[in-house]
Structure 1
Amino acid sequence: MNDRLSGVIDVVNDRKLPPELRGQRDAVRSETDIINVVEQRIWHSMEEGQFENLPGKGKPLDLNTNPHADPAEDTLYRILSKNKCAPEWVELNKEIRTKVAEWRSALKKAWMHRGSVDDSKWIEASGSLKLQIHDINNKVFRYNLIVPFGRQILGLKWEKEMDRLKEESTGS
């Protein structure tokens, strides 16, 4: 039973390969082999002039619709765009980037007071900055819930930011 199933899987996978590579599954070393065959086909087609008389040649692409997007989302984004509005996640991303830049600048300023005679400025500033990290990370969490798949971002971590700052101060 297992051998039959394995055989069927091999046949199905073999059919996924370009005709030039079918029956040679063991000879196909990597995805690069398949890419090379596809590139050869494209070059051959170009040499034969198969790309010369395509409809719309020389005309700008219609980028008003995204064929890969959900039609409802695409319509929504088009309406927002026509009314000069951005989706909530775009605006939230801008806000997060601004807040992170301001936060890092404040951390750098506070870092200068660390180790001085009066460490109280550093202690006070670092406490405030840790609270701000929490607020930024809450925005990141909200952003990650509403952003399209694959565009999620990471929040800030105090330890990583401190390591980054130490590297900057020693590397400069």
Structure 2
Amino acid sequence: MKLISVLLTPNTRNPLYLIVTSSKLPGYKISNLCCYSTFKHKRSIKECYTVLNVPEGCSAEEVRDSYKTLAKKYHPDSGASTASAARFMQIDEAYRDLLTNLAKESKKAQAMEDDEEKMSEYKIPQHRQYLNYEGVGFGTPSQRQRQYMQFRVDRATDQVLDFRKQKLEQQYAENSMVAKDVKHSKKVKITQAIERLVEDLIQESMAKGDFDNLSGKGKPLDKFSACPHIDPMTHNLNRILIDNGYQPEWIVLQKEIRETIDKLRQDLVASRKKLGDPMAYKQEKQWMEIREKFTVDISKLNKRINDFNLVVPLMSRQMVHFRVEKEIWRAEQAFLVLKEEMNAVNNTEADEKMDNVQVNPTEVFLNLIKYLKKFRKPNKQNKE
């Protein structure tokens, strides 16, 4: 094999090589000619996006991630079945060109932002006259001075009005406090007078002996009969509430839930009993409607159970949800039990009726003779 390198282009960076392969050198017979160049075809940016399978306008991070994924797939040393050196070279070239283009665009955008900042700096007024008079007014300096003086007058007027308003509000608050104090003092005096009057009446009754005949005289007060572990005030308050029919919310909810589930169960068993056994197509359809209505009622009841579990004070008192399938199965079992009981009652009544029937032997004998005579009459006619 003989290698001949010939520079065919003026660009020294991209020479053109000729490879001449011959099996026999003495005769200079060319059996294979191969030509290749190091010139790299410059792709457009759109082609680079297509090669890397990324959308246009994506970030550099997305480009790097796509390059890593494709490199794992097409790199010759990856050991994958899709490994291809030519394909990897295309991907690598597109990756480098795309990163270069993104870097240029970012620099260009940064330069434009810097230019905009510089332009905005020149638009800000830097004259000393615009920094006076608290930024109030416009026009010439004399006009701005007059406008600023008027602004100060208006501001002073507003401040005076605000001060007067605050002073009046403070006086009104003080007067209202005085009025409240007077009312409170009168109430205290009345209360004290009533207490003194009641105390005088009690002392007078004790002196007369009106309290000597009381049933509980000389006995301790029955304060701690219910629970000795709570203070007397709490016990008395609870007793007053109970005597007046008060019940805690969770107790009321628990009672409502139990009453509701009992009523639903009874209604379900009664409905099943009305349909009878076995059920026809019409009865089965009615039974399905009853079950659907029962399901809705159970879901509402389960919501009430959720409310109950939120207010019940003890975890051990919390309730679990009712299951529709289990309740329907219980209703069917209850119906079967009722059916067996009804059959047993009917059989018992029939037996009792049979036992109550009195058999007369004479009547049975006479009936038998009449029955036999019916068969004898036709025989006599045949003999005649």
Q: TM-score, normalised by structure 1?
A: 0.53
RMSD: 3.2
Residue number among 223, 226, 241 corresponding to 1:80 in the alignment: 241
Aligned twin of 1:62: 224
Alignment of structure 1 residues 106-121 onto 2, 5 Å: 106-112=267-273, 113=275, 115-118=279-282, 119-121=284-286
Aligned twin of 2:200: none
2:322 counterpart of 1:156? yes
Offset at residue 66 of structure 1 (A): 6.2
Between the aligned partners of 2:235 and 2:259, the Cα distance in structure 1 is 27
Going from structure 1 to structure 2, the CA distance change for 1:76 and 1:92 (only over 3 Å counts) comes to: farther
Q: Which amino acid aligns with 2:241?
A: L
**Runs of 4+ displaced beyond 4 Å:** 73-79
Between the aligned partners of 1:135 and 1:66, the Cα distance in structure 2 is 41
Aligned twin of 1:169: 335
Which structure has greater strand proportion? Answer: 2
Aligned twin of 2:293: 128
| Identity value in percent | 27
Between the aligned partners of 2:237 and 2:310, the Cα distance in structure 1 is 18
Alignment of structure 1 residues 132-147 onto 2, 5 Å: 132-147=297-312
Deviation string for 1:121-140 (max 9, x for gaps)?
A: 21221111110001111111
Deviates more, 1:97-106 or 1:115-124: 115-124
SS of alignment partner, residue 281 of structure 2? coil
Contact in 1 for aligned 2:253/2:308 (Cα 8 Å): yes
Residue number among 257, 264, 268 corresponding to 1:103 in the alignment: 264
Unaligned ranges ≥5, structure 2: 1-221, 339-384
Going from structure 1 to structure 2, the CA distance change for 1:171 and 1:82 (only over 3 Å counts) comes to: closer
Offset at residue 109 of structure 1 (A): 2.2
Contact in 2 for aligned 1:111/1:122 (Cα 8 Å): yes
Going from structure 1 to structure 2, the CA distance change for 1:65 and 1:170 (only over 3 Å counts) comes to: same
Between the aligned partners of 1:140 and 1:98, the Cα distance in structure 2 is 13
Higher RCO (C-alpha 8 Å, min separation 6): 1
Deviation string for 1:119-162 (max 9, x for gaps)?
A: 22212211111100011111111111111211112221111112
Contact in 1 for aligned 2:254/2:308 (Cα 8 Å): yes
Alignment of structure 1 residues 19-98 onto 2, 5 Å: 62-65=224-227, 67=229, 77-78=238-239, 80-98=241-259
Q: Which amino acid aligns with 1:102?
A: K
Between the aligned partners of 2:310 and 2:228, the Cα distance in structure 1 is 22
Contact in 2 for aligned 1:80/1:87 (Cα 8 Å): no
SS of alignment partner, residue 226 of structure 2? coil
Q: Which amino acid aligns with 1:80?
A: L
Between the aligned partners of 2:330 and 2:254, the Cα distance in structure 1 is 22
Deviation string for 1:47-69 (max 9, x for gaps)?
A: xxxxxxxxxxxxx89343363x8
Unaligned ranges ≥5, structure 1: 1-59
Deviation string for 1:77-128 (max 9, x for gaps)?
A: 4553243200011111111111111110121123233733312221221111
Which structure has greater helix proportion? Answer: 2
Between the aligned partners of 1:80 and 1:61, the Cα distance in structure 2 is 15
Q: Which amino acid aligns with 1:116?
A: A
Contact in 2 for aligned 1:77/1:87 (Cα 8 Å): no
Aligned twin of 1:43: none
